[in-house]
C-alpha cells in the first residue's frame, strides 16, 4: 500500500523560494550591467532584494552578520547628512535585515564626533537623532563619552595609539586617533553582544552608499550596489577578517600628490583651446572608465605598481547638450580651485562593474574610509596615529598583509567620495588646509603627506625584512628610514621641477594677448580663476614654496625623524597595551 502524500515542511519551501530569488537577482544584475549600465533595470533589481529580505524574515533565524557602521565626523554636518541619507536610501532600497516592525534590525550606526565647533556638534546630534527615528539603531559617541571611556583605561599607556590631549581641547584629534578611540568603544559593544556575528564597517562622513556610473550626460550617482548583502556574503563564504573597498568620484589622496598630473591636464586643455574658435562646439572626451582603479590621479602611481603612462586627460563639460569652447572654458575655470580642496576635475574615478565574489583578491592597502573587519580583527588599530600622517591606510595595509596574509582582501564595493560641497565649492572641514579669500595654503597637509610617504615605504621595507613583529635596533630602523627619506625627497624635488616648468608655460599661454580668451570672449571671472589656480599651485608647490621649505628645514627633519623612530620602535609595546585595553573593555561589558 503506498504511503500517503505528505506536504513539504514550510521552511524547506521557503528555502527553495530564497534560492530561486537569488537566481533571479543574479540574472537581473547581469542584465543591468550588460554592455554598460541599464538604469531601467535598477528598480526591479532593488525590488527583487526587498522580496528576498521578506522571504528571509519569513523563514526566521537570520544568521547573517550584524553591521556596526562607524563614522567619525569633525565639523561636517552637511557631509554627515548626505552620508546618512544615502545609508537610509540603501536600507530602504535593499532592506537588509528589515524586520516585521519596520526596523533595520541588523544595522547599528555609531557616529563619533571629533568636532570643535559647538554649533556643528548640535547639528550633528540632531542628524543622528533623525536617523534613529527613521528605523536605524543610531548611537552618538560624543567627546564626553570618549573621555569617560579613556578614563576607564587611565592606568594603561595608550599614548602611542590615541595620543595625549587636553580634556578641554579633545576635538580635532584626526581620523586615525579618532578611529582608535572608536575601536575601543567597539570592544565594549562586542562584550555586550556576544551572540551576534558582528562586522565593523568604517567609513568617512564625506562618502555615500552610492557609485558613480558613466552616462551620456556625464555620469550619475546611484545606489546600484547592495553593499551590506555583498559584504556579508564575502565574510560568510570565506575566512576573511578584513575587507577593504575603494572610492569612486573624488580621489582619496591629497592634492600634494595629484598636482603634477592636474597641471599637465590644465596645460593640455589651454593648448587645445588655443587652436579652436570660441564659438565652435567643444570636442567632448569619450566617457569610459579608463584609469578608474588604477590610481590615474596619483603623480607617483608607479610606486604602487600602476602604469603612469597615457598622457593628459581631457575635461568633460557636464550636461547632455553640446557646449561651445568658450562655455567649456568658463565651466572648467569654475572647477580649478576646487582641486585644492580635493576634487580632481579631469581624473574622476568611475565605477567598473565586476561581480563582488569574483572581485575578491589579496590586498595591501586599507582605505580607512571604506573597510570592514570582523570582531577578532579589533586588535589591529590604526598604526602611528598620533603622528597624524597621511597614508595611514596604506601603512596599515602593509602591516595587515604581514599579519593576516590572504585573510586581508579587497573587493569591488567602492563608496562615492565627494570632497567638496556644491554650495561652497570647498570641503566642509579639512585639517591642515587654510583658506582665505584668494589663498589656499596646504603646507601642513603637504608636510604630513611627505612624511606619510616616508613612513609607508619605511614600513614596507621593514615588513620585507620580516622584522616588524620583532625588536629591531633603533640604528637599523634609522638607517632604513633615512634611505627612504632621501629617495622620497629626490622624487618630490624632481616633481617640483617639472611642475614649475608646466606652471610657467601655463602662465605664458594664459596671458598671451593674441588668444581669444583675452579678447573679451569669456568673462573676466574665468580668467581670474585660472590666475588664482596658477598662483595657489605656485605658492604650495613651486620654486619659492613655503611647503617645500619645511622639508628642507634641518631642525624639522630631525624632529620628524625622532618622532617616527619612536613610533616604530614602540609599536610592539603599543600593541601590548592595546590588547590589554580590549580585554578589559570586553570583560567589563560582558553580561
pLDDT digit string (tens) for 158-168? 999 999 999 99
Provide Rg for the chain, Cα atoms.
26
**Helix or strand (DSSP H, E) at 203:** strand 198-203
Helix spans in 344-406 (H): 356-359, 392-404
SS3 content of the chain, % helix, strand, coil (to 5): 55, 10, 35
Between 466 and 184, whose confidence is greater?
Answer: 184
| In-domain check, residue 35 | yes
Burial environment of residue 205 by CB neighbours within 10 A (0 to 12, 13 to 18, 19 or more) = buried
DSSP-derived letter for residue 238 is S
Q: In angstroms, rounded to a whole number, what is the distance separating the alpha carbons of residues 345 and 425?
A: 12
Of 271, 263, 261, the residue nearest 325 (C-alpha)? 271
Planar angle of CA 476, 479, 481, nearest 5 degrees: 105
Q: In angstroms, rounded to a whole number, what is the distance separating the alpha carbons of residues 332 and 510?
A: 14
Inform me whether the pLDDT recorded for 470 exceeds 80.
Answer: no
Instruction: Give the pLDDT band (50/70/90) at residue 590.
Output: low
Phi, psi of 9 (to 5 degrees): -55, 145
1-5, 384-388, 421-425, 478-482: range with lowest mean pLDDT: 1-5
Helix spans in 405-438 (H): none
Q: In angstroms, rounded to a whole number, what is the distance separating the alpha carbons of residues 54 and 21?
A: 11
- Which cell numbers in the block locate residue 386? 598620533
**What pLDDT is attached to residue 86?**
97
**What pLDDT is attached to residue 102?**
86
Name residue, grid cell 596671458: 511
Q: Are 384 and 455 in contact (CB under 8 A)?
A: yes
**What pLDDT is attached to residue 8?**
44
| In-domain check, residue 38 | yes
- Tell me the β-bridge partners of 527: none
**What pLDDT is attached to residue 289?**
62
| In-domain check, residue 17 | yes
End-to-end CA, the chain? 57
Mean pLDDT calculated for residue range 363-379: 96
The domain total for the chain is 1
Instruction: Give the pLDDT band (50/70/90) at residue 421.
Output: confident
Instruction: Give the pLDDT band (50/70/90) at residue 61.
Output: confident
Inform me whether the pLDDT recorded for 331 exceeds 80.
Answer: yes
**What pLDDT is attached to residue 7?**
41
Q: Are 454 and 564 in contact (CB under 8 A)?
A: yes
**What pLDDT is attached to residue 35?**
86
- Which cell numbers in the block locate residue 116? 570643535
Strand ranges inside 322-369, DSSP E: 361-362
**What pLDDT is attached to residue 6?**
40
Inform me whether the pLDDT recorded for 260 exceeds 60.
Answer: yes
| Domain membership of residue 12 as a residue range | 8-61
**Pair type for strands 415-417 and 207-208:** antiparallel
The contacts of residue 446 (CB under 8 Å, 6+ apart) are 254, 256, 540, 541, 547, 550
**Residues making up the chain, counted from first to last:** 591
**What pLDDT is attached to residue 288?**
64
Planar angle of CA 271, 441, 113, nearest 5 degrees: 120
Ramachandran sector of residue 412 (left: φ over 0; alpha: ψ -120 to 50; beta: rest): beta
| In-domain check, residue 554 | no
| In-domain check, residue 12 | yes
Give residue-wise pLDDT tens across range 440-453.
Answer: 899 999 999 999 99
| In-domain check, residue 15 | yes
Instruction: Give the pLDDT band (50/70/90) at residue 308.
Output: low
Long-range contacts of 541-549 (CB under 8 A, 24+ apart): 541/256, 541/259, 541/446, 541/496, 541/499, 542/496, 542/499, 542/500, 542/503, 543/496, 543/500, 545/496, 546/443, 547/256, 547/442, 547/443, 547/446, 547/447, 548/492, 548/496
Between 220 and 88, whose confidence is greater?
Answer: 88
Say what the pTM is.
0.92
| In-domain check, residue 97 | no
Average per-residue pLDDT in the chain?
A: 91
Give residue-wise pLDDT tens across range 481-523.
Answer: 999 999 999 999 999 999 999 999 999 999 999 999 999 878 8
The contacts of residue 266 (CB under 8 Å, 6+ apart) are 336, 346, 506, 533
Q: Are 73 and 35 in contact (CB under 8 A)?
A: no
| In-domain check, residue 30 | yes
Amino acid at each position: 500500500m503506498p504511503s500517503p502524500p505528505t506536504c513539504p515542511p514550510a521552511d524547506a519551501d521557503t528555502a527553495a523560494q530564497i534560492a530561486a530569488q537569488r537566481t533571479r537577482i543574479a540574472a537581473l544584475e547581469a542584465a543591468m550591467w550588460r554592455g554598460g549600465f541599464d538604469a531601467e533595470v535598477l528598480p526591479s533589481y532593488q525590488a527583487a532584494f526587498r522580496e528576498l529580505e521578506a522571504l528571509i524574515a519569513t523563514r526566521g533565524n537570520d544568521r547573517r552578520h550584524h553591521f556596526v557602521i562607524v563614522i567619525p565626523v569633525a565639523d561636517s554636518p552637511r557631509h554627515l547628512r548626505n552620508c546618512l541619507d544615502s545609508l537610509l536610501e540603501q536600507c530602504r532600497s535593499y532592506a537588509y535585515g528589515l524586520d516585521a516592525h519596520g526596523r533595520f534590525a541588523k544595522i547599528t550606526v555609531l557616529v563619533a564626533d571629533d568636532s570643535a565647533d559647538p554649533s556643528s556638534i548640535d547639528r550633528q546630534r540632531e542628524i543622528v537623532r533623525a536617523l534613529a527615528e527613521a528605523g536605524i539603531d543610531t548611537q552618538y559617541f560624543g567627546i564626553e563619552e570618549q573621555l569617560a571611556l579613556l578614563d576607564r583605561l587611565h592606568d594603561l599607556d595608550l599614548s602611542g595609539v590615541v595620543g595625549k590631549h587636553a580634556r578641554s581641547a579633545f576635538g580635532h584629534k584626526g581620523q586615525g586617533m579618532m578611529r582608535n578611540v572608536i575601536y575601543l568603544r567597539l570592544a565594549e559593544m562586542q562584550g555586550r553582544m556576544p551572540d551576534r556575528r558582528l562586522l565593523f564597517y568604517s567609513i568617512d562622513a564625506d562618502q555615500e552608499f552610492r557609485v558613480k556610473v558613466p552616462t551620456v550626460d556625464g555620469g550619475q550617482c546611484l545606489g546600484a550596489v547592495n553593499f551590506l548583502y555583498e559584504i556579508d556574503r564575502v565574510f560568510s563564504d570565506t575566512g576573511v577578517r578584513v575587507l577593504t573597498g575603494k572610492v569612486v568620484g573624488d580621489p582619496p589622496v591629497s592634492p600634494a600628490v595629484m598636482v603634477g598630473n592636474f597641471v599637465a591636464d590644465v596645460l593640455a586643455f589651454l593648448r587645445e583651446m588655443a587652436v579652436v574658435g570660441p564659438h565652435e562646439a567643444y570636442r567632448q572626451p569619450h566617457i569610459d572608465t579608463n584609469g578608474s582603479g588604477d590610481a590615474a590621479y596619483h603623480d607617483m602611481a608607479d610606486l604602487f605598481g600602476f602604469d603612469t603612462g597615457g598622457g593628459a586627460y581631457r575635461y568633460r563639460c557636464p550636461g547632455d547638450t553640446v557646449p561651445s569652447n568658450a562655455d567649456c572654458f568658463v565651466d572648467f575655470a569654475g572647477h580649478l580651485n576646487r582641486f585644492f580642496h580635493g576634487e580632481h576635475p579631469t581624473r574622476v574615478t568611475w565605477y567598473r562593474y565586476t561581480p563582488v565574489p569574483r572581485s575578491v583578491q589579496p590586498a595591501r592597502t586599507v582605505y580607512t574610509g571604506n573597510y570592514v573587519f570582523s570582531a577578532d580583527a579589533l586588535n589591529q588599530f590604526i598604526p602611528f596615529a598620533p603622528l597624524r600622517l597621511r597614508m595611514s591606510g596604506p601603512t596599515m595595509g602593509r602591516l595587515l598583509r604581514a599579519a593576516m596574509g590572504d585573510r586581508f582582501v579587497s573587493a569591488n564595493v567602492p563608496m562615492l567620495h565627494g570632497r567638496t560641497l556644491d554650495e561652497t565649492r570647498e570641503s566642509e572641514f579639512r585639517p591642515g588646509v587654510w583658506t582665505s579669500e584668494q589663498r589656499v595654503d596646504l603646507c601642513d597637509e603637504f608636510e604630513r603627506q611627505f612624511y606619510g610617504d616616508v613612513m609607508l615605504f619605511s614600513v614596507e621595507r621593514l615588513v620585507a625584512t620580516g622584522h616588524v613583529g620583532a625588536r629591531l635596533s633603533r640604528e637599523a630602523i634609522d638607517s632604513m628610514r633615512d634611505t627612504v627619506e632621501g629617495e622620497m625627497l629626490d622624487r618630490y624635488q624632481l616633481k617640483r621641477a617639472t611642475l614649475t616648468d608646466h606652471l610657467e608655460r601655463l602662465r605664458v599661454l594664459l596671458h598671451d594677448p593674441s588668444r581669444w580668451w583675452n579678447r573679451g570672449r569669456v568673462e573676466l571671472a574665468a580668467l581670474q580663476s585660472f590666475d588664482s589656480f596658477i598662483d595657489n599651485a605656485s605658492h604650495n608647490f613651486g620654486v619659492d614654496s613655503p611647503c617645500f621649505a619645511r622639508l628642507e628645514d634641518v631642525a624639522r627633519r630631525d624632529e620628524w625623524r625622532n618622532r617616527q623612530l619612536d613610533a616604530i620602535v614602540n609599536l610592539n609595546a603599543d600593541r601590548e597595551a592595546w590588547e590589554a585595553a580590549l580585554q578589559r573593555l570586553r570583560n567589563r561589558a560582558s553580561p
